[in-house]
């Protein structure tokens, strides 16, 4: 049996479906991300013969724990492959390449990289196109928007994966769920935009600050802010983490900022953790909107002096 650990977004789900179809037989799947991959691996009990890690970048701060978990898993004779399209630094690449089979290179979506590595037919090609549309943040197709809405629910995300592995792109239940969820998201995007403010960097770039302390779909709000305010990029934050999303031009390397704060991702979409202690985090959650924690103010200062 194959064990798949993948990202919980559209690209991650589609990557897992293409891989499961290419490898055949049974599989089990856990969803994870760059911030939790060490924990996910530590909880993994090896019952399969093969482990696939998909669409999860390895940030510097996770290198040590992830390396030791992978050594533990590979010592049992498990074959481990890690396919990812995010940017990795040289040390991470060289330290892991002796333990796992690494395929790390830039690609519009990780699903496309998996397709190139493991192969597939017309169905997989269609899936890779959906993943490209979603992972670049374009969302030009309705199906990518539906998958994105579905991916936000843990149970439905699993159902979608099962559907895809069985060779069908959607069913009535998933479509109905996705459509209702899309309407909810639409409301949250409007509400999120009301909590957004536009600021200017040192060199005159306009960017949007989006407060997600009361929740909301950060990437969708950022996309709408880019369209409605014409900003170069957006920063979204809650009391645990932040993300940066490029606007229409995508010419700035936002990842530089994320990497300075031990995060990672793509030049046009990346994120990282905000290090608030427990007390500050509680205050952060209950504070009125104008009270922004100092960690966020520092992030904004870093952005404004870097761009
Ligand atoms: Mn991806």
Residue 84: helix, strand or coil by DSSP? strand
Q: Annotate 288-300 with DSSP letters as a single string.
A: -TT---HHHHHHH
Q: Which residues, 6 or more positions from 234, have their beta carbon under 8 angstroms from its beta carbon?
A: 196, 207, 208, 209, 210, 221, 222, 225, 226, 244, 245, 247
pLDDT at 262: 87
Measured distance CA(72)–CA(160) in Å, rounded: 32
Please say if the pLDDT value at position 49 is more than 90.
no
The rounded distance, in Å, linking the Cα atoms of 284 and 52 is 37
Per the prediction, the chain carries an average pLDDT of 94
Q: What is the pLDDT of residues 260-282, one digit of tens each?
A: 998 988 899 999 999 888 888 88
Rounded CA separation 58/226 (Å): 28
**Ligand 1 centroid to residue 79 C-alpha, Å:** 23
Q: How far is the CA of 11 from the centre of ligand 1 (A)?
A: 5
Q: For residue 174, how far is its CA from the centre of ligand 1 (angstroms)?
A: 22
Q: List the domains of the chain with CATH numbers.
A: 2-181 (3.40.50), 195-306 (3.10.310)
Q: Give how far the C-alpha of residue 219 lies from the chain's centroid of Cα atoms, to the nearest Å.
A: 10
How far is ligand 1, taken at its centre, from the CA of residue 109, in Å?
5
Each residue's pLDDT tens digit, 62-89: 999 999 999 999 998 899 999 999 999 8
Alpha-carbon distance of 212 to 271, in angstroms, equals: 14
Please tell me the distance from the alpha carbon of residue 95 to that of residue 63, in angstroms, as a whole number.
9
**Distance of CA 17 from the midpoint of ligand 1 (Å):** 14
Cα of 54 vs centre of ligand 1, distance in Å, is 9
Ligand 1 center to residue 95 CA distance, Å? 22
pLDDT tens digits, 146-159: 999 999 999 999 99
């Amino acid at each position: 049996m194959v064990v798949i650990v993948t990202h919980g977004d559209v690209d991650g789900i589609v990557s897992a479906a293409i891989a499961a179809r290419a490898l055949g037989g049974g599989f089990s799947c856990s969803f994870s991300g760059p911030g939790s991959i060490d924990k996910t691996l530590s909880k993994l009990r090896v019952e399969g013969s093969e482990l696939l890690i998909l669409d999860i970048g390895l940030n510097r701060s996770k290198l040590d724990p992830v390396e030791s978990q992978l050594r533990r898993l590979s010592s049992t004779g498990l074959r481990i492959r890690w396919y990812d399209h995010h940017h990795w630094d040289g040390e991470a690449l060289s330290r892991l390449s002796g333990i796992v089979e690494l395929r790390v290179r830039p690609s519009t979506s990780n699903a496309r990289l998996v397709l190139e590595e493991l192969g597939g037919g017309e169905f997989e090609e269609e899936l890779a196109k959906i993943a490209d549309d979603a992972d670049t943040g374009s969302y030009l197709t309705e199906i990518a928007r539906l998958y994105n809405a579905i991916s936000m629910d843990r149970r439905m995300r699993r159902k979608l994966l099962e559907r895809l592995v069985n060779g069908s792109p959607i069913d009535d239940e998933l479509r109905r769920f996705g459509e209702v969820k899309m309407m909810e998201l639409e409301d949250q995007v409007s509400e999120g935009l009301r909590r957004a403010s536009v600021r200017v960097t040192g060199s005159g770039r306009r960017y949007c600050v989006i407060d997600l302390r009361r929740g909301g779909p950060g990437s969708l709000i950022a996309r709408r802010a880019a369209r409605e305010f014409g900003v170069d990029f957006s920063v979204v934050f809650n009391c645990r983490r932040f993300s940066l999303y490029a606007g229409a031009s995508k010419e700035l390397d936002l990842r530089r900022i994320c990497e300075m704060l031990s995060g990672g991702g793509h030049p046009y979409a990346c994120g990282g953790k905000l290090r608030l202690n427990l007390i500050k985090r509680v205050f952060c959650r209950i504070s009125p909107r104008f009270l922004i924690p100092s960690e966020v103010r520092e992030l904004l200062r870093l952005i404004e002096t870097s761009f």
